[in-house]
Amino acid sequence: MKITIIGSGNVGTALAKRIFSCGHLIHQIYSRELAKAETLANAVNAAATDDIKRLDPESDIYILAVNDDAISAVSNIINPGKGILAHTSGATSLRVFEGKHSNYGVFYPLQTFSANLEPDFEELPLCVTGSNSNSLENLAQLAKSICPNVYIINEEQRKGLHVAAVFVNNFSNFLFSAAYDICEKENLDFNMLKPLIRQTIRKIETEIPGQVQTGPAARGDEGTIFNHLAWLDEHNPDLSPIYKMLTTSILNIKRLKK
Amino acid sequence: MKITIIGSGNVGTALAKRIFSCGHLIHQIYSRELAKAETLANAVNAAATDDIKRLDPESDIYILAVNDDAISAVSNIINPGKGILAHTSGATSLRVFEGKHSNYGVFYPLQTFSANLEPDFEELPLCVTGSNSNSLENLAQLAKSICPNVYIINEEQRKGLHVAAVFVNNFSNFLFSAAYDICEKENLDFNMLKPLIRQTIRKIETEIPGQVQTGPAARGDEGTIFNHLAWLDEHNPDLSPIYKMLTTSILNIKRLKK
């Protein structure tokens, strides 16, 4: 297939490189910054442009890997010809393309992308949605050629998935960050907690998280909860309301299970 | 060294097996249930008893691996002779032994223990506190012989560490559990989120969590936050207050950094 990549951020770069290495032709790379477009284009044997209006309307698929808040604006300008236009956002409705294009969809890799950490396309799930059967088929075909874990999902499911992703990624990282702050204040090495974090993840590789919930709240150990809150009030008062709310939630689940 | 293990739960079992396999003599295993004491005693070539008053006062170290709320009561009864009595709890003060014993301390492996998942003593941190220099030296010596990551910490540090452990283990598991519930309601396979969870952890292996915080709150993306809250109010209202509080906390940190 002939593919155009719009955007040279972390997602655009990762997708362009993967699609290229899986044997597809990358036709053009667009970025607002020409130098960035050229760097990526060189890596995947494509042409570079910083003029969205000069995109060649001859590709089969146009992957729109720009910031969420730019998707609508870019999709107003772009002419994908008979090609399929797909954004890569978990948070953006398919309707952003409605009335502007006829063949479109979503090509959503459910992963956190950063410049330093290569995504593993053998591991991550690639979620695909299409505006019609032709769009869906072509996007799914491209997806399957670069990733073994392709899921066809609907709009409602992608919304739920994106909220769930915020819980497991952004919010858990925030908890790690809270623990980091506690360690810093008490002159403790945050590395001490990493084996525990790794084991927490290992447990849920095979078990349902709700069934392996441990800790003072899951045990209903009110003495320890009281001591922790008193300690937080004194040492890290910003974290007290978070401790209270999460503890209350775990206690409520415990009560419901009885 | 000659060691007595009091308690045959997950922590007692793991410690007994590790201490034995590192070449020490396990003298006795105590459990309220004789059958349990015998099973573990057989595995580590020790004697078994279910009578706490009949513990031999000849061991060098007595490891008290019982539930937090039983530590005080057991320590009232037990006679460790000239040996050192150490509990394994992150949440219990050293003072629980005060006025009852003269040589005591804490022998706290910072890890979550379960029957199904073997702890890795090459990886976990073992935190040691002693009531006097002799107790500390002996406990540290035993610790170093079974684990390369031994930390001498004080009471205040252990409290902070235990609170931090609740954040990274219990609370993050609760977030995974919330994501599991979302997936179940939307007919999505929770396995889809596991690569994202793994990547979240991989990031903080080398980076400070607060510096790799991503997501709608870290970006200040109020549109997505609004959409997520509307979605949660409709689909999983129990999770809305948690989403709000964690998002507000991340937004506040963002503001402070400016």
Place A127 in a pLDDT band, splitting at 50, 70 and 90: very high
**What's the mean pLDDT in B32-39?**
97
- Which residues of chain A lie closer than 8 angstroms to B224, CB-CB? 68, 91
pLDDT of residue B13: 97
Quick check: A216 and B114 CB within 8 A? no
Task: Supply the CATH number for residue B48's domain.
Answer: 3.40.50.720
Interface test with B, best of A111, A176, A233, A248 (most B CBs within 10 A): A176
Residue pairs spanning A and B at CB distance below 8 A: 305
**What's the mean pLDDT in A30-53?**
97
Task: Give A187-211 pLDDT, tens digit per residue.
Answer: 999 999 999 999 999 999 999 999 9
- Which residues of chain B lie closer than 8 angstroms to A171, CB-CB? 175, 215, 243, 246
Residues A74, A14 share a domain: yes
pLDDT of residue B15: 98
- Does B91 have pLDDT greater than 90? yes
Task: Supply the CATH number for residue B199's domain.
Answer: 1.10.1040.20
pLDDT of residue A256: 81
Task: Give A149-195 pLDDT, tens digit per residue.
Answer: 999 999 999 999 999 999 999 999 999 999 999 999 999 999 999 99
Residues B17, B132 share a domain: yes
- Which residues of chain A lie closer than 8 angstroms to B129, CB-CB? none
pLDDT of residue A176: 98
Residue of B nearest to A236 (CA): B160
What is the distance in angstroms between the CA of the first residue and the CA of the last residue of chain A? 56
Residues B220, B96 share a domain: no
Number of domains composing chain A = 2
Place B99 in a pLDDT band, splitting at 50, 70 and 90: very high
pLDDT of residue A171: 98
Place B256 in a pLDDT band, splitting at 50, 70 and 90: confident
Out of A68, A153, A214, the one facing B112 most closely (by C-beta) is A214
Quick check: A151 and B192 CB within 8 A? yes
Out of A170, A202, A249, the one facing B242 most closely (by C-beta) is A249
Quick check: A180 and B156 CB within 8 A? no
Place A227 in a pLDDT band, splitting at 50, 70 and 90: very high
pLDDT of residue B54: 87
- Which residues of chain B lie closer than 8 angstroms to A66, CB-CB? none
CA distance B147 to B119: 11
pLDDT of residue A162: 97
The token pair that represents A242 in the structure block: 């978070």
Where does a domain end: B124, B153, B182? B153
pLDDT of residue B218: 95
Task: Give B154-169 pLDDT, tens digit per residue.
Answer: 999 999 999 999 999 9
- Which residues of chain B lie closer than 8 angstroms to A229, CB-CB? none
Residues B22, B137 share a domain: yes
Quick check: B193 and A164 CB within 8 A? yes
Place A107 in a pLDDT band, splitting at 50, 70 and 90: very high
Quick check: A174 and B213 CB within 8 A? yes
- Does B257 have pLDDT greater than 80? no
CA distance A8 to A16: 9
CA distance A97 to A87: 9
User: What mean pLDDT value characterizes chain A?
Assistant: 96
Quick check: B160 and A197 CB within 8 A? no
Report the amino acid identity of residue B90.
G
- Does A115 have pLDDT greater than 90? no
Where does a domain end: A153, A188, A213? A153
pLDDT of residue B115: 83
- Which residues of chain B lie closer than 8 angstroms to A163, CB-CB? 182, 228, 231-232, 243
What percent of chain A has pLDDT above 70? 100
Q: CB of A31 within 8 A of CB of A37? A: yes
pLDDT of residue B162: 97
- Which residues of chain B lie closer than 8 angstroms to A189, CB-CB? 151
- Which residues of chain A lie closer than 8 angstroms to B118, CB-CB? none
User: What mean pLDDT value characterizes chain B?
Assistant: 96
Residues B163, B137 share a domain: no
Residues B171, B86 share a domain: no
Quick check: A238 and B249 CB within 8 A? yes
pLDDT of residue B6: 98
pLDDT of residue A255: 81
Residue B127 belongs to domain spanning: 2-153
Q: Complex ipTM, two decimals?
A: 0.95
Residues A225, A145 share a domain: no
Do the strands A61-64 and A2-6 form a parallel or antiparallel pair, or are they unpaired?
A: parallel
Residues B186, B132 share a domain: no
Residue of A nearest to B154 (CA): A186
Q: Which DSSP string corresponds to chain B?
A: -EEEEE--SHHHHHHHHHHHHTTPEEEEEE-SSHHHHHHHHHHTT-EEES-GGG--TT-SEEEE-S-GGGHHHHHHH---TTSEEEE--SSS-GGGGTTT-SSEEEEEE-S---SSS---TTTS-EEEEESSHHHHHHHHHHHHHH-S-EEE--HHHHHHHHHHHIIIIIIHHHHHHHHHHHHHHTT--GGGGHHHHHHHHHHHHHS-GGGS--SHHHHT-HHHHHHHHHHHHHH-GGGHHHHHHHHHHHHHHHHHH-
pLDDT of residue A117: 84
pLDDT of residue A153: 97
Q: CB of A96 within 8 A of CB of A75? A: yes
Residues A80, A42 share a domain: yes
CA distance B9 to B27: 17
Residues B168, B148 share a domain: no
Place B118 in a pLDDT band, splitting at 50, 70 and 90: confident
Task: Give B101-114 pLDDT, tens digit per residue.
Answer: 999 999 999 999 98
The token pair that represents A156 in the structure block: 């409602």
Residues A147, A166 share a domain: no
Task: Give B191-201 pLDDT, tens digit per residue.
Answer: 999 999 999 99
Residues B116, B15 share a domain: yes
- State pTM to two decimals: 0.94
Interface test with A, best of B69, B89, B176 (most A CBs within 10 A): B176
- Which residues of chain A lie closer than 8 angstroms to B202, CB-CB? 117
pLDDT of residue A254: 81
Residue of B nearest to A153 (CA): B188
pLDDT of residue A103: 97
Quick check: A201 and B197 CB within 8 A? yes
Where does a domain end: A153, A178, A195? A153
- Does B258 have pLDDT greater than 80? no
pLDDT of residue B145: 98
- Walk across the sheet containing A104-109 and list its strands: A47-49, A25-30, A2-6, A61-64, A84-87, A104-109, A126-130, A150-152
- Does A140 have pLDDT greater than 80? yes
Quick check: A196 and B111 CB within 8 A? yes
